[in-house]
Structure formats: C-alpha cells, structure tokens
Amino acid sequence: MLDFLKCTVNIEKPYEYQLLYDWLGKGLLINDCSDLWRERRKLLTPAFHYKILDEFVPIFNEKTDILLDRLRESADKESVNICDLVFPAALDIITETSTGFKINAQQKENLDYIQAVQDMGRILWIFSMTKMGQQFKHNLNVSQTLTRRVIDERKRYLMQNKGNTDLETKDTKDSKTRKRLAFLDLLLDHHLRDNTLSLEDIREEVDTFIFAGHDTTAICLSWTYHFIGLYPEIQRKLHQELDSILTTNCMVTIDDIKRMPYLEAVIKESLRLRPPVPVILRAIKQDIQLGQYVIPRGVTLGLMIDVMHLDPDIYPDPLTFNPERFLTAGEGRDAFSFVPFSAGVRNCIGQKFALNELKIVLAKTLRLYHFQSLEPRDRLIEYNAIVKKPKNGIRIKVSPRYQA
Ligand code: HEM
C-alpha cells in the first residue's frame, strides 16, 4: 500500500466520486482531471499555511464557547446525543473560516441550509425522479443558493475596496465582517485578476471545504468523546494535562495545544480506530506493481484505511483503545501506516486545520466537563454515508467538573 500512496501518477478519482458531482463539481476533493487538480491544489495550498491557520484560532474558541453553553444546558439531563451538539459546532466553524459567513447552526438559525447539507451526504445515490431524488435537488438548491449569495456579496465588497484584496493586509475597521478571509478571498483575489477561475468554480471549492471539513471533524469529535467517556483513567490523565496548562475559561492558543501530547495521542488513537473516511478509491491509469501483484490500468483500487489501522504487526492488541502507543514516537511504524487523512500527493489539505480544531474544542470542553459514555463500543452501529457515522448517535452523560 505504501507504493500506492506514494505514487504520483495514479492520483485520479474514479467514477464513484462523481456521485457528488452535482454538488461539488470540479472541487478539489472529487476532481478527476490531474492537470486541473494540480492547478487548484497549488492555488489553495497557501490558504493552509500555518500562519493563516493561526488566524482561525479565535473562531475555534468562539464557537467552542457556544458549545460550552449547550453542554451546560445538557448537564442536568440523563444523557445527550453528543453528535447533535458537535455537528452544528463543526458546521459553524468551517462555514465561518471558509466564507466569513456566520451560519449560526448552534443557535438553530439557517435551519433549511443545515438540513440540506446534512441530508446531502445521505441521499446521493437516489434516482432523480424518486421522492428522495426530488429532495436531493431541493437540498442542492438550498445549499448552492446560499453559497452563491455569500460569494457574490464578498466579491462586491472586495471590488468596492479595491487595493484591499492583498491577502497580506487586514482591514481593522470592522474586524467582524471585513477581516481577511483566507479561503474565499484567496479564490476571489485570483478570480478578479484572472476570470478563467469562474464564480461557479469558486462555489464548488467553497462547498467542497464545507462538505469535507465539517462531517469529518464532527465524527472524530463524537467518537473521541465516546472513547474518553468509556475509560476513566484516560479521562483523568487528560484532565491532569489540561489543568496544568489552561485556566478554567481561557482562550486556548496554538502554543497551548503544542503542549498537549496526551490529548494529541488520544485524538490519534480515536482516528486510528474510527477513521471518519474509512475507504479511499483511485482510478488506476498506469499499471502499478503492489508487492507481488500488478494492478492493471483501468481498475478502481480501494484502500481500506480502517482495516489498515488494525494490523497487529503495527498496532499490537489493535482493538484496544490505547493512546500511549502514540506517545512512543512511532516506534516500528512508518508514516504510511497511520493514514486517517490519506497520504501522498492527494492527502487531506485540511489536516492541520482539523487537528487544531479538534484539539481546541476538546481541550476547552474537557477542561470544564466530565464525560461518561452510556453505551459500550459494540452497541454502536455505524453506517456509511461517504463518511462513516454512528447510526443512532452516541449517548453521553455530561457533568460539570466545577460547581458554579
Ligand atoms: C478529522 C477530520 C478530517 C479527516 C479524517 C479527513 C480525511 C480526508 C481524507 C481521507 C481525504 C482523502 C480523500 C480521498 O482520497 O478520497 C481528504 C481529502 C480532503 N480533505 Fe479532509 N479530512 C478532515 C478534515 C478536513 C478539513 C477540516 C478540510 C477543510 C478545511 C478538509 C478538506 C479536504 C479536501 C479539500 C480534500 C481533497 C484534497 C485533494 O484531493 O487535493 N478535510 N480528507
């Protein structure tokens, strides 16, 4: 599999990904033309520079503060479905960081859009004349109308403020609405100089970020709370690490999260056992030798990330949730044996973004709350909706660590 992931030739996505075409078009995730993909990836890579990612930290904190309010409301209840809390939080984060628009999913605003985005991943495979097919078209319309409106408004703003589109400048007059927006401004800046990148191309990339960046992180958060809530000793160690770094209600910074090795190990172990994207596919365009086999041109090759992560030669006692295995700096493992974000040239462009988000949300919530999982691992049924989700959610009892 190492050869497959390292390969720079067989990087095209096969037909199966085109089920997302009506929604994501030629966006980075499903783009099946290697030249266009390379062009777009080159254009978008600067938006994921660590300095730009640092600017999202206040948004991660602000949205987690709202999540904390919702956890406070849940603390009196017998249990809460943690997915219902973290999915809107993740959607709020990705929408605001990629477009500047506050969708306010956690405050239950823009419900038609939220419903549309959540349904879309679920009902893709339906023929258009069926009732669900009509529902899919409706969802598409709702989500694309909003994305187009946000892009048009931002373009008008940038044109009125010509000269201020330099991505290195920041307008400080009204930081709420005018602050530089990395993803969308980068694309609009390019569009205003070279309109071969059309507004519809930009819409496809923005929708791609929203799709690729919200379900995945929300699922990882949900499973991580579940694992933490199952193993009190692991939760105790996490609380100990967080208490030594954070005060009770502070803004978590990039420097803080760099000092949280145990939290990072817990996230990695969660991603190992429950990778949100369990399978990736590639269209084989040139014969490739994998071990003793030649995989011929024309074949679709699937890489089962979830199965790879259970190899007992690499991960002894593979079904045990054991974050410690990630503290011993990859002993006996190569970089291609842990691939929740895929690997090689077609890897996840958002992985640093995702890890920062996961660490900040988890650090802030765990600092103040205790989580107890009410269902054992084998009771939770998973289903595939492009990403793999818990079918009926995850029930957790949330309790404050400190009395108000
Ligand atoms: C825990 C969170 C995440 C996981 C597990 C994850 C996983 C992955 C995986 C496995 C791929 C490869 C898919 C394939 O080859 O078919 C991928 C691609 C991608 N991801 Fe992520 N992702 C996460 C978060 C994000 C975030 C936050 C963003 C955006 C901010 C993002 C944007 C993308 C994009 C645009 C691609 C396509 C890259 C390309 O083909 O050039 N992802 N992701």
Q: Which residue, among 232, 246, 274, has the nearest Cα to 362 in the 3D structure?
A: 246
Model confidence at 123: pLDDT above 80: no
Give 1's pLDDT tier (boundaries 50, 70, 90).
low
102-116, 160-174, 175-189: least confidently modelled range? 160-174
Model confidence at 167: pLDDT above 60: no
Q: Ligand 1, atom 26: nearest CA belongs to which residue?
A: 213
DSSP letters along 121-189, please?
A: TTS-SS-TTSHHHHHHHHHHHHHHHHHHHHHHHHHHHHHHTTT---TT----TTHHHHS--HHHHHHHH
Q: pLDDT tens digit string along 316-334?
A: 999 999 999 999 866 667 7
Give the distance (Å) from ligand 1 centre to CA of residue 80: 28
CATH architecture designation of domain 3-161+180-400: Orthogonal Bundle (1.10)
Give the distance (Å) from ligand 1 centre to CA of residue 375: 29
DSSP letters along 200-228, please?
A: HHHHHHHHHHHHHHHHHHHHHHHHHHHHH
Q: Ligand 1, atom 40: nearest CA belongs to which residue?
A: 29
Quote the strand ranges of 2-119, DSSP E.
80-81
Quote the strand ranges of 12-113, DSSP E.
80-81
Atom of ligand 1 nearest to the CA of 94: 30
Q: pLDDT tens digit string along 336-390?
A: 899 999 999 999 999 999 999 999 999 999 999 999 999 999 999 988 777 888 9
Atom of ligand 1 nearest to the CA of 277: 10
Give the distance (Å) from ligand 1 centre to CA of residue 347: 7
Show the ligand 1 pocket: residues with CB < 6 angstroms. 28-29, 41, 208-209, 212-213, 216-217, 220, 276-277, 280, 340-342, 346, 348-350, 353-354
- Mutate which of 204, 214, 216 to test ligand 1's pocket (most atoms within 8 Å of Cβ)? 216
What's the average model confidence in pLDDT over 61-89?
95
Model confidence at 174: pLDDT above 60: no
Atom of ligand 1 nearest to the CA of 208: 35
What's the average model confidence in pLDDT over 139-165?
87
Model confidence at 27: pLDDT above 90: yes
Percent of the chain with pLDDT over 70: 91
C-beta separation of 142 from 129 below 8 A = no
Q: Is 348 annotated as a binding residue?
A: yes
Q: pLDDT tens digit string along 34-73?
A: 789 999 999 999 888 888 899 999 999 999 999 999 999 9
Give the distance (Å) from ligand 1 centre to CA of residue 137: 25
How high is the pLDDT of residue 236? Answer: 98
How high is the pLDDT of residue 169? Answer: 40
Q: Ligand 1, atom 20: nearest CA belongs to which residue?
A: 348
Give the distance (Å) from ligand 1 centre to CA of residue 215: 10
Give the list of residues 6+ apart from residue 321 with CB closer than 8 angstroms, or none.
227, 230, 231, 234, 269, 270, 273
Q: Give the predicted TM-score (pTM) of the model.
A: 0.93
- Mutate which of 24, 348, 389 to test ligand 1's pocket (most atoms within 8 Å of Cβ)? 348
Give 108's pLDDT tier (boundaries 50, 70, 90).
very high
Give the distance (Å) from ligand 1 centre to CA of residue 186: 19
What's the average model confidence in pLDDT over 11-37?
88
How high is the pLDDT of residue 51? Answer: 84
How high is the pLDDT of residue 349? Answer: 96
Percent of the chain with pLDDT over 90: 67
144-153, 245-254, 260-269: least confidently modelled range? 245-254
Quote the strand ranges of 58-132, DSSP E.
80-81
How high is the pLDDT of residue 128? Answer: 67
What's the average model confidence in pLDDT over 251-259?
96
Q: Which residue, among 47, 9, 51, has the nearest Cα to 28 in the 3D structure?
A: 47
Give 176's pLDDT tier (boundaries 50, 70, 90).
very low
Atom of ligand 1 nearest to the CA of 345: 41
How high is the pLDDT of residue 331? Answer: 61
Atom of ligand 1 nearest to the CA of 183: 30
Give 304's pLDDT tier (boundaries 50, 70, 90).
very high
How high is the pLDDT of residue 374? Answer: 97
Give the distance (Å) from ligand 1 centre to CA of residue 29: 7
How high is the pLDDT of residue 179? Answer: 55
Burial grade of 157 (CB within 10 A; 0-12, 13-18, 19 or more):
middle
Model confidence at 131: pLDDT above 60: yes
C-beta separation of 381 from 375 below 8 A = no
Give 222's pLDDT tier (boundaries 50, 70, 90).
very high
What's the average model confidence in pLDDT over 282-306?
90
Q: How far apart are CA 116 and CA 391, in angstroms?
A: 18
ipTM exceeds 0.95, yes or no: yes
How high is the pLDDT of residue 168? Answer: 40
